[in-house]
Amino acid sequence: GAVVSQHPSRVICKSGTSVKIECRSLDFQATTMFWYRQFPKQSLMLMATSNEGSKATYEQGVEKDKFLINHASLTLSTLTVTSAHPEDSSFYICSARDVAGQASRGYTFGSGTRLTVV
């Protein structure tokens, strides 16, 4: 089945530094990937939609200059949290759907990145 690899799984960084998270579709091409954030005991909130070869679409309230998204190929999307602060500490998850597959298969998620900013 469709597999999405996300890296790193866990990162601890100092306040003010930037962190890059990678999301790869391993056995399918993904023209669109999605980035979510999940705070403790809350649901996943969509941050942005990453489009291969074009600009990402950000949800309302998400700062595009803070959360930089690059989708340079059909199998790779990256999210960079710039100048991270403690309030950015969260669980970041990417997802994609194999567009060649059936819609009923839903979306496959990466294993998530737990970011802690100290």
Please give the residue ranges that form the binding site for other proteins (CB under 8 A). 32, 34, 36, 42-46, 49, 57, 91, 93, 95, 103-112, 114
Q: Quote the least distance from Cβ 66 to other proteins, whole Å.
A: 20
Q: Which residues lie below 8 Å from residue 80, measured CB to CB, with a gap of 6+?
A: 18, 19, 20, 21, 67, 68, 69, 70
Q: How far apart are CA 7 and CA 18, in angstroms?
A: 15
Q: Quote the least distance from Cβ 111 to other proteins, whole Å.
A: 5
| Nearer CB in complex with other proteins: 52/109 | 109
| Nearer CB in complex with other proteins: 19/93 | 93
Q: How far apart are CA 47 and CA 38, in angstroms?
A: 10
